[in-house]
Amino acid sequence: MRRHLHDDRGQVMILTVMFLVILLGFCALVLDVGHAYLAQRRLQSSVDAAALAGADSLPDVSGANAVAGNYGNGGSNTPLGVDGVKMTVTTSCLPGVPGCTTANAVTVKETGSIKTYFGGLFGVPTLNVNASATACSPCGSKPLDIMMVLDRTGSMCQAPDGSPDCADLNAAKAAMTSFLKLMDPTLDHVGLAVLPPAPSATATCNPTIGAMAYKTPTDPYVIVPLSSDYASRTGQLNTSSALYTKLNCVQGTGSTSYANALEQAQAELVKDGRANVQKVIVFMSDGAANTGPTSYANSSPYRATPCHQGINSAATIKSTGTLLYSIGFGVDDKTANTCNNANGSKEQPAIDAKDALTQIATVGDYYNAPNDDDLGTIWDAVAADLLQGTSRLVDGS
């Protein structure tokens, strides 16, 4: 009788069943947690791709939102195996990252849920998963040496009826100032050249008067060498800097000759540019070349075919690896913008300003600005193109 009272074989069976239940619970937990982890990584890949793609469209906020949407849920990176995915895209300015105008960062968040395999046995039929990523652009990872070349000829200070009016020149200055705000002074060095050249190195804001323009070979086209003091940080211009003050004080005068201004801008990039840094010229003109320096003979291509010489000078510049952007300001009227030689005859072979400026630019880098209202958008577009490819993830969770 005592032996039966102490028999514990039934207790072992109970403990075994309890252990199996606990073991099954752990197996279920491992399986469901692993499933949730896989789902979260898929969400993370989706938001990473969407944020990077969207950032490449900045500073165009609407474009960034649209592109991010195309790369995220519902687009080319829809997370597999995740139910009820919801995505939000926001843009913002990250104060520690250069390049902010309207926005310099895109944040993408996705949330969803997965069905559990065994969690339902324990009252957990679904698990929520989420992921977020922030990408910036530009991120200040690509330094640039940039020469801006401004056509400040007399036509920039002349109304259509011939009366004095510097609205075009003022619009160009405002657009170039906006361009400067997009540059990062810790990375991007910027200088300024003008045509016609200044009368002297000490009178860079003054116009060269009448027949004296393009007469003296030593007259400076580069009125501000490459500099980095134009801003204290991205978007915060230093209004006492030489670049800011001279850009805003130049006056309109004279006729048009491209070649020497482009050559001198390139010479400055070589002289003061940094090793292994991309060199860039951004050139804006409102018309056809129609003269050349009088220090050249009349038979020189600088005077006989000034538009073609501008193209040839640009070709030499581009062969060194310098990127050359050109902006045609109000040059759509081909008849009014026919290229002439220094004697006033049509250049042979015939060419007009728009064709010349297109050929001066690196392929694909010609921009057309029909009027004053377009200039700001065009210069911002050039900046955005220069800063493309600098996006990177700055946060992901």
8-state DSSP, 340: B
Query: Which pLDDT value is given to residue 266?
Result: 98
Query: Which pLDDT value is given to residue 142?
Result: 79
Closest CA to 90 of 75, 67, 107, 77: 107
Interatomic CA distance for residues 264 and 258, integer angstroms: 10
Q: Do the beta carbons of residue 77 and residue 87 sit within 8 Å?
A: no
Tokens of 352: 């007009």
Query: Which pLDDT value is given to residue 340?
Result: 92
pLDDT tens by residue, 75-86:
656 667 788 888
pTM: 0.69
Closest CA to 234 of 313, 168, 342, 137: 137
Interatomic CA distance for residues 393 and 397, integer angstroms: 11
Cα within 13 Å of Cα(23), Cβ side: 6
Cα within 13 Å of Cα(62), Cβ side: 0
Interatomic CA distance for residues 280 and 275, integer angstroms: 13
Query: Which pLDDT value is given to residue 1?
Result: 47
* Continuous segment of H or E residues that includes residue 3: helix 2-5
- DSSP-based three-state secondary structure for 67: helix
The low-confidence residues of the chain, meaning pLDDT below 70, are 1-32, 34-35, 72-79, 96-101, 118-122, 138, 140-141, 208-211, 388-391, 395-397
User: What residue type is 37 in one-letter code?
Assistant: Y
Pair type for strands 323-329 and 231-233: unpaired
